[in-house]
Amino acid sequence: MSAMPFPARPEKPRVGLFVTCLVDLMRPSVGFAAVKLLEDAGCTVEAPVQTCCGQPAYNSGDRGTTRDLAMRMIEAFQGYDYVVAPSGSCAGMIKAHYPELFEEDPNWRAKADALATKTYELTSFLVDVLGVTKVDASFNGAVTYHDSCSGLRELKVKTQPRRLLASVEGLTLVEMKDSDVCCGFGGTFAVKYSDISGAIVEAKAKNIEEAQAPTVLAGDLGCLMNMAGKLSRDGRPVQVRHVAEVLAGMTDEPPIGAAKADAIK
Amino acid sequence: MTVHSTSPQFKQNAARALNDDQLQKALGNVKQGFIDKRQMAADKLPEFEALRDSARDIKNHTLEHLDLYLEAYEEKVKASGGHVHFARDAAEARDIILSICRETGAKTVTKGKSMISEEIGINHHLEANGITPVETDLGEYIIQLRGELPSHIIAPAVHLNATQVEEDFRRVHTHLDAKRDLSEPVQLLTEARAVLRERFLAADVGITGANFLVAETGTSIIVTNEGNGDLTQILPKTHIVLASIEKLVPTLEDVSQLLRVLARSATGQELSVYTTFSTGPRRSTDADGPENYHVVILDNGRSSMLGTAFEEMLRCIRCGACMNHCPVYHAVGGHAYGWVYPGPMGAVLTPSLIGVDKAGHLPNASTFCGRCESVCPVRIPLPKLMRHWREREFERHLTPATVRSGLQLWGFFAKRPALYRFATRAAMGALALAGRQRGRFAWLPMAKGWTKYRDFPAPQGETFQQRWTRERKGARA
Ligand code: SF4
């Protein structure tokens, strides 16, 4: 990636929220939690009309469609100081992969670089860019945290969510075994190679339960849906939430894969 | 084609592996041992990450000038009294080796561990021509008795347990007392050693692989932990080194850098127990060594990877770290990959060597978790290269029709934001309504692969963009 001079941070940064497909469709409350966190940290947040970053096409080998979608994303988010996503995988797509999509097109390459430079995963944006050290939230009980792969390895998201969680009143973090090992989601992999994916997520579900925290958190909805679906299928009583919900103190909605009634008990 | 491949049946292989309790237990050992040991070794060496950079650079430099280094290497080997043979493909390599064996009048051939010998299927070829090959690495010896391929590039029999090995030894070593005690692993080791010692002494030719070939000196280098490689190359009259073109390294200084990352990445050792350098046949002043020294250098499709995106794969020093850290390998083991090279490195290399039409599943069967790349000592971007294979498959219409049409439909909506919002709003509303009671689905049409193993969480109902427009439109102006 070409080195870009780091722009000086504006007074009240204008942040374009890249909601991501899964949050948009499945769990909008995560998006609103992200908005609250960003606004509390002094940002102006907007959510331009958007669809998908193209990752499913990219990982299926369809570069043409990926490029088309990337161009739309680049245009949709042109005017913002920063672009923030409540997902390491989708932010990673833009940051680590958009530039190389346009290797042969200097004009678009420059635009892709510009977008890549200002795009962040939510917790890393809060901690690394805005210098947030604590959030205004409380949560009663222990949680364990799963490190989603792209965030961890492409964007080095590891300490940031933990630092913010440490500031949540009443919350204790218990580490599970192998928190940095893949949950077996892998996008279309979960469906195309469901036997293998099923075996990988089974091991993950076991490690989650053995941590003996009533709640598991992560920063990517794909992984969360995978883990929640496996935990409930295997009858392991652990609640599943996106880390942003807890950091924003917005845990009124039932956990992922649970009905309203489950949440109350 | 060389060794028969079951890569096209990857899914069936994987399903079988997942239901094999014994295998699953054996794979549990791969998971922890290798990973912890590598981590400890890396943590102990402050310059480990910097060494990985220089390892990458050394290999890149060599690949850029591979023709020059091959020539220089050949000159040096000749000068030291050895012979170099270039083999374009597996068949040529087999023929060259067979004719060397015939010239020597060989009846038995001992073999050190060599993945290239698996790649060209040399054992079978020698047997078919009346020559008995004997594997001398313990793991390789065991799988030879079983007629299997290695399931791991540095631990070929890692898929087996001691009881299975005991059964094989009792089945094959019929000249030994049937009532002997083999309940302890060390007893198995002792028995193998005793059996193999006789074979070492009887062998006419010894074939070893090479971890590195040094252009500067014409030296071939093997790293082993059992010492079997040394006996294989020193005792027989003729020593054949079998290696592929990417084993070249310019200088001994370069080798010393690569050795520092190799064993640490593989087994967590600082160095393996034996690191053996051999240069040419025995000289008059040498105490021992072979009379004849041959090097067979195999291409088998590798040179056509040079100058392409896949060139980076030729940096591989076969440490096995990528498979040791791979969740898919942990789940299904090495045999499911269906050919010689398993795990992430196999997922990239196998399509290059046997064709993506046959090995197409391999680069697809990855979550792209990136753990392999994060430990590869020569920093091969394995997920990126697997993605390149997916791109080639997509271009050549090898991607399954269901996936293609699904992608097309999704792409159609994703490129039309208004339509996307309209369609998703309706779909999510309906899905949320249907899933309201339980908050999840145990079964969904079109998502059988998902719901076979896990529930599908129900959506909240309204989409983010819908609610955002409703709540914030006014506030935004
Ligand atoms: S690809 Fe890298 S990690 Fe895997 S065997 Fe080769 S050198 Fe080792």
**3-class secondary structure, A187:** coil
**How do A138-145 and A169-173 pair as beta strands?**
parallel
Neighbour-count burial for A11-33, b at 16+ CB within 10 Å, e otherwise: eebebbbbbbbbbbbbbbbbbbb
Put simply, the answer to whether A60 touches B331 (Cβ < 8 Å) is no
**How many C-alpha atoms does A215 have within 13 Å on its Cβ side?**
22
Atom of ligand 1 nearest to the CA of B323: 4
What local confidence, expressed as pLDDT, does residue A7 receive? 56
Dihedral pair phi/psi, residue B220, rounded to 5°: -110, 145
* Torsion over CA: B279, B280, B286, B288 (sign): positive
Neighbours of A262 (CB within 10 A): 16
Mean pLDDT of A86-97: 97
CB B174 within 8 A of CB B237: no
Tell whether B86 is within 8 A of chain A (Cβ): no
Cβ contacts of B468 on chain A, cutoff 8 Å: 28, 31, 47
A31–B457 CB contact, under 8 Å: no
What's residue B402's pLDDT? Answer: 77
Q: Which residues contact B237 (CB under 8 A, 6 or more apart)?
A: B104, B204, B205, B290, B291, B292
Q: For residue B419, what pLDDT is reported?
A: 84
**From CA B367, how far away is CA B323, in angstroms rounded?**
14
Using only C-alpha atoms, chain A has a radius of gyration, in whole angstroms, of 18
Domain residue extents for chain B: 22-298, 417-476
Q: Is residue A4 pLDDT above 60, yes or no? A: no
DSSP E strands, B232-285: 238-244, 248-249, 274-278
**CA B467 → CA A17, A56, A247, A248, B461, distances in Å?**
14, 25, 21, 18, 10
CB B335, CB B24: distance < 8 Å: no
Q: Distance, in angstroms, between A225 CA and closest chain B CA? A: 6
* B21 CB neighbour count, 10 Å cutoff: 7
Q: How far is the CA of B345 from the centre of ligand 1 (A)?
A: 6
Please give the Cα distance from B349 to B301 (Å, whole number): 10
**Is A14-128 assigned to CATH 3.40.630?**
no
Residue nearest to atom 4 of ligand 1 (CA): B322
Residue of A nearest to B368 (CA): A186
A118 min Cα distance to partner chain B (Å): 22
Closest CA to B39 of B28, B29, B48, B26: B48
Looking at residue A1, its pLDDT comes to 44
Q: Answer for the pair B196, B226: CB distance below 8 angstroms, yes or no.
A: no
For A187-213, letters b (16+ CB in 10 Å) and e give bbbbbbbbbbbbbbbbbbbbbbbebeb
Q: Is the model's pLDDT at A180 over the cut of 50?
A: yes
* Cα distance between residue A244 and residue A253, in whole Å: 13
User: Which residues line the pocket of ligand 1, CB cutoff 6 A?
Assistant: B 316-322, 345, 376-378, 380
- Assessment of whether the complete model's pTM goes beyond 0.80: yes
Which stretches does DSSP call E strand in B115-172? Answer: 132-135
DSSP state of B310: G
pLDDT of the residue at A264: 45
Query: Would you call B81 exposed, middle or buried from its count of C-beta atoms within 10 A (0-12, 13-18, 19+)?
Result: middle
Of the candidates B465, B472, B474, B473, the residue with the CA atom closest to the CA atom of residue B419: B465
Residue A202 pLDDT more than 90?
yes
Instruction: Report A:23-82 residues touching B (Cβ under 8 A).
Output: 23-29, 31-32, 46-47, 49-52, 54, 56-63, 65, 68-69, 72
Mean pLDDT of A68-75: 96
Chain A from 127 to 156: CB within 8 A of any B CB: 149-150, 153-154
What are the two backbone dihedrals, phi and then psi, of residue A68, each rounded to the nearest 5 degrees?
Answer: -55, -45
Put simply, the answer to whether B424 touches A25 (Cβ < 8 Å) is yes
d(CA B268, CA A114): 41
Using an 8 Å CB-CB cutoff, list chain B residues near A52.
Answer: 410, 414
Instruction: Sort out which chain B residues have CB atoms less than 8 A from A257's CB and list them.
Output: 439-440, 455, 457-458
The torsion defined by the Cα of B377, B379, B381 and B382, in degrees rounded to 10, comes to -10
In this predicted structure, the answer to whether residue A69 has a pLDDT above a threshold of 50 is: yes
8 A C-beta contact, residue A66 and residue A94? no
Kindly tell me the burial class for residue B257, based on how many C-beta atoms sit within 10 Å of its own C-beta (0-12, 13-18, 19 or more): middle
Residues 6+ apart with CB under 8 A from A30: A23, A86, A221, A242, A244, A245
pLDDT confidence of residue A2:
45
A196 closest CB neighbour out of B328, B370, B447 = B328
pLDDT value, residue B415: 85
Calpha distance B364→A46 (Å, rounded): 37
Ranges of residues in chain B with a pLDDT under 50 are 1, 475-477
* Domains A14-128 and A133-264 belong to one CATH topology: yes
Q: Give the C-alpha separation, B42 to B340, whole Å.
A: 28
Q: How far apart are alpha carbons B258 and B376 in whole angstroms?
A: 12
Using the Cβ of B390 and the Cβ atoms of chain A, whether some distance falls under 8 Å is answered with yes
pLDDT tens-digit series, residues B163-194 = 999 999 999 999 999 999 999 999 999 999 99
So where are chain A's domains?
Answer: 14-128, 133-264
Of A56, A186, A229, the CB nearest to B410: A56
List of residues 6+ apart from B354 with CB closer than 8 A = B1, B2, B5, B7, B339
- The H or E element that residue B352 is part of is helix B343-354
SS3 B360: coil
**A17 neighbors A90 (Cβ within 8 angstroms):** no
Q: Nearest-CA neighbor of A256 among A213, A235, A227?
A: A227
Q: Longest Cα pair distance anywhere in chain A, in angstroms?
A: 57
Q: Which of residues 427-456 of B touch A (CB under 8 A)?
A: 427-428, 436-440, 442, 447-450, 452-456
ipTM: 0.93
At A21-68, the pLDDT tens digits run 999 999 999 999 999 999 999 999 999 999 899 999 999 999 999 999
pLDDT digits (tens, 9 = 90+) for A211-230: 999 999 999 999 999 999 99
Q: Which residue has the higher pLDDT, A75 or B32?
A: A75
Question: What is the CA angle B126-B157-B242, rounded to 5?
Answer: 40
Q: Taking CB atoms and an 8 Å cutoff, what residues of chain B touch A29? A: 460
Tokens for B340, please give them: 């010689």
A133-264, CATH topology level: Rossmann fold (3.40.50)
CA of residue B379 to ligand 1 center, whole Å? 8
Half-sphere exposure of B46 (CA within 13 A, CB side): 0
